[in-house]
Amino acid sequence: MLMRTDPFREMDRIVQQLSGTSGTWSKPSVMPMDAYRQGDEYVIAFDLPGVSTEAIDIDVERNMLTVKAERRPNGKSDGVQMELSERPLGVFSRQIMLADTLDTEHIEADYEAGVLTLRIPIAERAKPRKISIGGTGGRKQIAG
């Protein structure tokens, strides 16, 4: 159901993680995700801990789903001396090519405990349906 648009993106993520660089708007970091089918919908979950809902942008254009988010540093007062800073900051992005069998008009988004969850229903035309055989003429009729 999903297609990655950039096969080298995972390598970029590893390099950024090892070098400690953060994502920018021109070269965002990759956010981790899980994708699975649950009943008649496709579920995609993105890890975005510490990101406010106002800093998350979700777009769908044709079959391309784009999720962008920005994690900014906490406001620090002048007397604070940072001892350790391991949490990645900056811009995170993920683009996913969605199959034609998904209904992009009815995507639902929830954000809880640092996880953005998108639920995309399977399009009616993609669901399995029974085909019955009519009378003696052998004509087939699709029941749907």
According to DSSP, the residues that pair with 97 across neighbouring strands are 3, 64
What is the pLDDT, as a whole number, of residue 139?
57
Average confidence (pLDDT) over 29-52? 92
What is the pLDDT, as a whole number, of residue 142?
55
What is the pLDDT, as a whole number, of residue 90?
84
Q: What token pair was written down for 127?
A: 């669901």
Instruction: Say what percent of the chain tops pLDDT 70.
Output: 71
DSSP string of the chain?
-EEES-TTHHHHHHHHHHHT--B-SSSPEEPPEEEEEETTEEEEEEE-TT--GGGEEEEEETTEEEEEEEEPPPP--TT-------S--EEEEEEEEEPTTB-GGG-EEEEETTEEEEEEEBPGGGS---EEEPTTT--EEE--
Mean pLDDT of the chain: 81
Q: Are 46 and 94 in contact (CB under 8 A)?
A: yes
- Interatomic CA distance for residues 92 and 24, integer angstroms: 8
What is the pLDDT, as a whole number, of residue 26?
58
**Residue in 37, 39, 56 with CA at minimum distance from that of residue 47:** 56
The single residue listed with the structure tokens 């970029």 is 12
Q: What token pair was written down for 132?
A: 């019955």
Q: Which one has a higher pLDDT value, 35 or 74?
A: 35
Summarize pLDDT for 60-112 with one digit per residue, the tens: 998 999 999 998 877 666 777 777 777 778 889 999 999 989 999 999 999 99
Give the pLDDT band of residue 5 (cuts 50, 70, 90).
low
